[in-house]
Structure 1
């Protein structure tokens, strides 16, 4: 029976990865910054900090597989880059057989700082000497939904202003979690093919679907994107239409969630 450690196991993706592992009856360990949890639903929790290099030795002891989900787009130089180095250095090389890293489609095609940090982490993992698998996915459905909600809440009551030209191939976070849990049962494969949602949609289409779902009659006003992150999503590097393996569509996601 394999013992799998999930970093970021309380996060948006990590919590579903943990759930998928438990369903597969895999012994699961979670590295968390929370201090009040030790064991829950047969899941072992270790309090630790990637950047401060606290609790990593204890959490990685006897672990055969690490699924590295922890990330911080606002503090990526420390959390993602330095934190990953600390994790790899702390890993029990006598037991660890497979290091799985979740990454993002297109990080090798754009100089957006967070993308460049993720690419650097990929290289750190690949050069660690530990057998590894890297999975790049498109944006999650909830990433797009949160973007729409933020724009909606910051605007007027009778219309929503959104950046034009953005496209997404959003995917269900649960589907990505299931894939990661399955990879944990397999041999390492290096950088595997991208995993994207079932459809490529313009942001305006996605916003219209959102407004229809919540039964809002707001008008949509388009503006030229100024934010560096918004501009990124006009380039198409975040898409992989040839790898549209995801099943849940944007509208299906909205209908379930809202």
Structure 2
């Protein structure tokens, strides 16, 4: 059944996959954005979760809200934006709020993870029907980080850190299915099909790009590093992801490309 669905973060890495799938499924999609464009197949609503401008107008009439917007660089941005969105959704009587989060946010003191966990708690205490999906790191994020580090001839590699990258398109497919269903609370975590050390991820990028770099293992102290070494960011058992990181790299990285691009 067709719904009216508001998407925050609809132009982001995950958002473009989600919006595309929602449109294919016949839903009426509107996207809250600070930089509205006119040439889109969906309705654009100018607004800003940081200030609250335009949020009530964006939420009005939406059957479901998919909250994908995030800002890992600004402390507190995700929590405050979620609070504003929840308040607007409660005023509008929104029937379903779907939120994307990260595996391990309740067990890692990294400020961004703590904000994500606090945002989860705001949603859970809101009284709104909700669904929360936690996933591991996206392929796109892992590639972005390894590309940045590869600009240096000598690359520091955190010792003991492991990751389970997942395909963004598969997460988008799962999120779209959750939006179409009823509120399900916290659903099972989603993760990629393989677990890699940080060093293995760096080597895979360098091999795909045809570059050589010196990798230097670095022991990183502190509680955040300890959490990554414990594997709080990993999904136990089958995380549901199918597309491998190698397949992703084969599509995105070509031998001979300038390093870091």
> Would you say same fold, with TM above 0.5?
yes
Contact 2:59 2:92 in 1 (8 A): no
**Distance of aligned partners of 1:94 and 1:33 in 2 relative to their CA distance in 1, 3 Å threshold:** closer
Report the RMSD for the aligned CA atoms in angstroms: 1.8
The Cα shift of 1:95 comes to: 5.2
Q: Which ranges of structure 1 fall in alignment gaps of 5 or more residues?
A: none
Give the corresponding residue for 1:9: 10
2:120 is paired with a residue whose SS is: helix
- Cα 1:45–1:140 change in 2 (3 A) is same
Distance in 1 (CA, whole Å) between partners of 2:35 and 2:222 is 33
Distance in 2 separating the partners of 1:229 and 1:23: 40
1:16-31 aligned at under 5 Å gives the runs 16-31=17-32
Cα drift, residue 26 of structure 1: 1.1
**1:148 counterpart residue number:** 146
Equivalent residue runs for 1:55-134 within 5 Å: 55-77=54-76, 79-91=77-89, 93=91, 96-134=94-132
Normalising by structure 1, we get a TM-score of: 0.91
CA distance in structure 2 between the aligned counterparts of 1:68 and 1:161, rounded to whole angstroms: 35
Aligned length in residues: 252
SS in 1 for 2:149: helix
Partner of 2:181: 186
C-alpha contact 2:193 2:241 (8 A) present in aligned 1: yes
Give the TM-score normalised by the residue count of structure 2: 0.90
C-alpha deviation, 1:220, in angstroms: 2.4
Instruction: Quote the offset at 1:213 in angstroms.
Output: 0.8
- Structure 2: gaps spanning 5 or more residues: 254-261
